Amino acid sequence: MSRFNDSNVTLAKEIIGRFPRAKSAVIPLLHLAQEQDGYVTRDAMSHIAELVNVTTSEVYGTATFYEMFKFEPIGKYCVNVCTNIACQLVGGWELLEHAEEKLGIKAGSTTDDGLFTIEDVECIAACTEAPAIQVNYRYRYKVTAENLDQLIDDLRAGRLADEIPPHGTLARVRQNTTEAWANTGIEAQAKVDAG
């Protein structure tokens, strides 16, 4: 349970400045919270509500709409195995079963060491490269049982640290905020306030 740390408060305010209305920053800030703690804590949602001046209930309603926001701690690596039709036809189900056996857990749960969570997901828009999986929303295409084993071993050994950061880290939130961007936000807000 934690609120934003000091550097993230600064970043949060920067993000809020990108939008004409502070409220519009709720989703980027939820990503930021998930990046900080690996999942979205209640305290973080309360903090977001304070920062953008809405109620906690409004933040909660928005956050829970999205599957990618987690409200309980999950593994450092979230492995999403697609079992939708295209992947299923070329072995998606078998791949999911293999992952479950390899890690010793069922889909929807987390390994005891807190490293892996497996999710059974619907189409992730990689049908031409089926069967596809994601690890922390980074794609792996045409996955076989062998390279899934290899992937898990590499993640365990920390060999993919550069490529796959821990769950929650999303590059998109950290886009540069130039002077021009910030000013646009403030000016637009001023217009809204005056109107």
Partner 1 sequence: MSDVNDTEVQETPVVVKTTLSITVDGRAHEAEPGQLLIDACEDAGSYVPRFCYHPRMEPVGMCRQCLVEVEGPRGPMMVVSCMTPVAEGQVARTETPSVKRAQEGVLELLLANHPLDCPVCDKGGECPLQDQAFSHGPGESRFVEEKRHYEKPIPISDLVFLDRERCILCDRCTRFADEVAGDPLISFTQRGNNTQVNTFPDEPFASYFSGNTVQICPVGALTAKPYRFKARPWDLEQRESTCTTCSVGCRTVIQSSRDELLRYQGSDSDAVNWGWLCDKGRFNFENVNSEDRLEQPLMHDGSNLVPVAWSQASAAVAEALKTGKAAILGGARGTNEDAFAWARLADALGIEMRDPQLSDGLPAEVFGLPSASIEEAANATTIIVIAPDLKEELPVLYLRLRDAAEKRRSRILEFTAVSTGLTKYSWKSVPTEPGLQASVVRNTLGEAAVREQLGKGNVVVVVGRASLAESADHTVAALSAVLAEVPGAKVLPVVRRGNVRGAIAAGLGSNSNATEILTAAAAGKLDTLVLLGADPIADFPDTDLARRAISAVRNVISLDTFLTESTARASVVLPASAYGEKEGTTTNLEGRVTSVAQKVTARGTSRADWMVAVDIASRLNVDLGFDSVESIQRAMIATSVFAPMADGGANTREGVLIDQPATALPAVSATAGTHSSYDLRLVVSRRMYDKGASTAHSPSLVGLAQRNVLRVNSADLARIGVASGTSVRATSSKASVSVTVEADDSVGRGVAHLTFNAPGINAGDLIDVNASVNDIKVETL
Choice between 42 and 174, CB closer to partner 1: 42
**How far is Cα 187 from Cα 175, in angstroms, rounded to an integer?**
20
Query: Please, are residues 132 and 124 in contact by the beta-carbon 8 Å criterion?
Result: yes
| DSSP count for the chain of H helices, then E strands | 8, 4
Closest to partner 1 by CB, 24 or 62: 62
- Binding of partner 1 by 24 (CB under 8 A): no
- Is 23 a binder of partner 1 (CB under 8 A)? no
Judged by beta carbon, residue 53 or residue 175, the one nearer partner 1 is 53
State the binding string over 42-81 for partner 1 (x if CB under 8 A, else -): x--xx-------xxxxxxxxx-xxxx--------------
Please say which residue, 24 or 56, places its beta carbon nearer to partner 1. 56
Q: List interacting residues with partner 1 (CB under 8 A).
A: 42, 45-46, 54-62, 64-67
